[in-house]
A and B are shown apart, each in its own frame.
Chain A
Amino acid sequence: MADKQLLKIENLVLHFRTSRGSVQAVDGVNFDLAHNEAVVILGESGCGKSSLAKAILRLLPRNVANYSGKVLLNGTDVMAYNDEEFRKNVRWVEMSLVPQAAMNSLNPVLKVGDQVAEPLIVHDGVSKAEALVQARKMFNLVGVPEEFLDRYAFELSGGMRQRVAIAMSLVTMPELIILDEPTSALDVLTQANIFNVLKRIKNELETSYILITHDIATSSELANKVAVMYAGQIVEVSDAERFFAKPLHPYSEKLMNSVPRLRGDKEPEFIVGQPPSLLNLPSGCRFKDRCPMRFDKCEQEPPVYEKENRLVKCWLYR
């Protein structure tokens, strides 16, 4: 089931131009994703994880300074497409996005049913009536009552709006859905319900996910694979079982220790210091200033080491 490779990202770079210099938001990211698999991108705010989502979907602002690398989707390099081809063949057809804060991503003056149907009308050229039938199906799938098709976003609760955003990303049946902090603004029970929905969709429709979040505890609800991002780079890629049991990179370990837990006596710890500014990154290992295991080798940039099928960018695993 999870053998066929769906997505492979090679040396993806996205830099922004600002008046104070170049912001290296995504700086040489590599990872791959198999069919019907979910990868979680973990990281603190400002580590470039939302920019990574934008880079994969090519939803770029105007001040891009450098955008390069390879995004292989089912073996085709979609970076080679021009914007129109990308829009026609990739965006929402092959991969779609559930944006951060779904509350604000819905159009307030359109009925949510019409909004969910819209990608289908635009991308598949079906009639509005047919698209609405499909939208209705998606509403059932994510657990929103059908009569909500005729409501406006403001009439829906936060959890319902999030479900509508998921329905919208599903309506064209893409193979890959990118979820950017899908539940960070929601209550515990709503959050758990949304993850139940996402799991069911994954099992029923064989969708793949890229889940972008800073919430380690809830990310384990979906993850097959974990990629930890720090200062624009991926520092560890591992399967979920071994990652949640024992992460390799010192940063991942610190992140895991910072999770408050319901049970057990372990006091959570915090990571001293702040992530570096993406405007002027330190040379060598980017985590070295906050790292308890730092040694002289860390002044040079660490390569990516492979250890038992897990990737880690740290000199400790040389």
Chain B
Amino acid sequence: MANVQEIQNIKQTVAAEDHSHDDMMLSIQDLRVWFELRRFGFGRAGYVHAVDGVSFDLAKGEAVAVVGESGCGKSSLMKTILGINHITKGKILCQGENLGNMKSKALRNYRSKVGYIQQDPYGAMAPFMNVEKILSEPLIINTKMNADERIERIKQALTEVKMTPVEDFMAKFPHQLSGGQQQRIVIARAMLLNPQLIVADEPVSMLDASVRVEILKLLRNLQEKHHLAVIYITHDLSTVRYFSRCIFVMYAGNLIEKARTDDLLRNTAHPYTQALLTGTSEPDANNAKTYKDIPQGEPPNLIKPPTGCRFHPRCTKMIKGLCDVETPPEFEIEPEHQVSCWLFK
């Protein structure tokens, strides 16, 4: 009986892999990114386990969010997807090709398919270049366009991010633009090469509340219009639901809960996700009268992460002898909703 089940499982996975080449953008399998700590001279002092066993699939045209605190490894994950960090173990498959095996030319080709929206727009742009020059760079490096074609493409990209009249902005330098406008230029730059995947690293955290929504809406429109796959990295759960279909919650290098956005908000499973939701404020005057029930402490050190569940030292629902010993596997509590927590075994 068990064998039949197993064979069926294998068949299903094979089938899934076969058709994955068509509509799968990215498939990440048990990805590990460790950074070596060196001592003086010889010998290693250990590893920083920045990403430790992350798996997820991203279909074409799908928007997902990775949510976590700083130091949870979300930036390392992002940089690995961008092809900047080395993969220690595991695979990132981009339309069937393994990112880890790509050589310089293939890698360059891959990178031109991936757009990157940085967190701090001002820091992401060379202060001595004007907008036209900033936006020309990717085209000069990646395409054979001549100057006129480049200008044409830049104008098109600027119109798309609603920086009109285009001519007014082309000659401006980053410091002459407001925060929202700077972020638009960064988005335009990410869109220039018609990417299939956009990685957005906290694109709105540096912006004012009123501009934040504007940029999120712009991103969503672009995503729908160009059928882009987007990985949206953030620590702010309240902006996620307007943007992405799925949420992956990351803690200390692991994805601890994966769910569709509505399911996650309706049926929050993992104690850490619950804490994140409690921590997110809604404008309500009653907030001032109550204390929030927030786990104490800080995210763990990733050089020696805690044994078992990595959240157990901060968790109020910790089961002694289980949570602190064994790493919880993924339990599926409803369709497309996985959680790594022993409470759901």
Decide if A and B are genuine partners.
Answer: yes
A interface list, Cβ under 8 A from B: 38, 44-45, 157-159, 187-193, 195-196, 199-200, 214-224, 240-241, 243-245, 254-256, 258-263, 267-271, 274
Cα separation A188 to B18 with both chains bound (whole Å)? 41
Nearest residue (CB) in B for A216 is B283
Number of interface residues of B (CB under 8 A): 41
A271 near B210 with CB under 8 A, answer yes
Whether a CB of chain A sits under 8 angstroms from the CB of B140 is no
Which residues of B are found within 8 Å of A38, using beta-carbon distances?
Answer: 288
User: In the complex, what residue of chain B is closest to A187 when comparing beta carbons?
Assistant: B69
Verify B292–A196 contact, CB threshold 8 A. Answer: yes
- 20 A-B pairs with C-beta separation under 8 A: A38-B288, A45-B208, A158-B70, A187-B235, A192-B278, A192-B279, A192-B294, A200-B291, A216-B209, A217-B281, A219-B283, A244-B285, A260-B216, A262-B277, A263-B265, A263-B282, A268-B213, A269-B213, A270-B211, A274-B180
Bitwise interface map of B from 293 to 307 toward A, beta carbon under 8 Å scored 1, else 0: 011101000000000
Residues of B contacting A262 with CB < 8 Å?
237-238, 241, 265, 277, 280, 282
Task: Knowing A192-B292, A261-B282, say if A221 contacts B287 (CB, 8 Å).
Answer: yes
Of B209, B242, B284, the residue contacting A244 (CB under 8 A) is B284
Residues of chain B with a CB closer than 8 A to A223's CB = 285, 288
Q: Looking across the interface, which residue of chain B has its beta carbon closest to that of A259?
A: B283
With A188-B237, A270-B214 as contacts: A214 and B208 at CB distance below 8 Å: yes
**Interface residues, chain B, CB within 8 Å of chain A?**
69-70, 178-180, 208-214, 216-217, 235-239, 241-242, 265, 275-285, 287-288, 291-292, 294-296, 298
CB distance from A270 to the nearest CB of B (A): 4
Closest B residue, CB atoms, query A46: B178
In contact, A189 and B295 (Cβ under 8 angstroms): yes
Q: Is the CB of A220 within 8 A of B284?
A: yes
Q: Distance (Å) between the CB of B221 and the closest chain A CB?
A: 13
Partner of B281, one of A214, A220, A224, A271: A220
A187 to B239, CA, bound (A): 14
- A260 & B284 in contact (Cβ 8 Å cutoff): no
Q: Which residues of B contact A192 (CB under 8 A)?
A: 278-279, 281, 292, 294
Point out the residue from B212, B276, B284, B291 that lies within 8 Å of A188, measured CB to CB: B276
With A188-B236, A260-B238 in contact, do A255 and B282 touch (Cβ < 8 Å)? no
CB atoms of B288 and A221 under 8 A apart: yes
Interchain CB contact (< 8 A) of B212 among A221, A244, A254, A258: A258
Per the bound structure, the CA–CA distance linking A307 and B242 in Å amounts to 36
B215's closest neighbor in chain A, by CB? A270
Contact residues in A for B292 (Cβ distance below 8 Å)? 192, 195-196, 221
B280 — which chain A residues lie within 8 A by C-beta? Answer: 188, 217, 262
A260 near B242 with CB under 8 A, answer yes
Q: How far is the CB of B254 from chain A (nearest CB, A)?
A: 17
| Residue of A157, A187, A243, A255 touching B210 (CB-CB under 8 A) | A255
Please name 7 further chain A to chain B contacts, defined as beta carbons within 8 Å, in addition to the given A187-B69, A221-B292, sorted by A numbering. A220-B283, A221-B281, A244-B283, A255-B209, A255-B210, A260-B236, A262-B237
Closest-by-CB residue of A relative to B71 is A157
Q: In the complex, what residues of B have CB within 8 A of residue A215's CB?
A: 209
**Docked complex Cα distance between A244 and B280 (Å):** 16
Give CA–CA (A199, B211) in the complex, Å. Answer: 29
Chain A nearest Cβ from B58, distance in angstroms:
23
Question: How distant is A50 from chain B, measured CB to nearest CB, in Å?
Answer: 13
Closest to B208 in A: A44
**Shortest distance from the beta carbon of B129 to any chain A beta carbon, whole Å:** 23
- CA of A261 to CA of B280, assembled, Å: 9
- Nearest first, the 3 A-B pairs at minimum CB distance are A270-B214, A192-B279, A240-B285
Distance in angstroms from B122 CB to nearest chain A CB is 13
Task: List the A side residues contacting B278 at CB < 8 Å.
Answer: 192
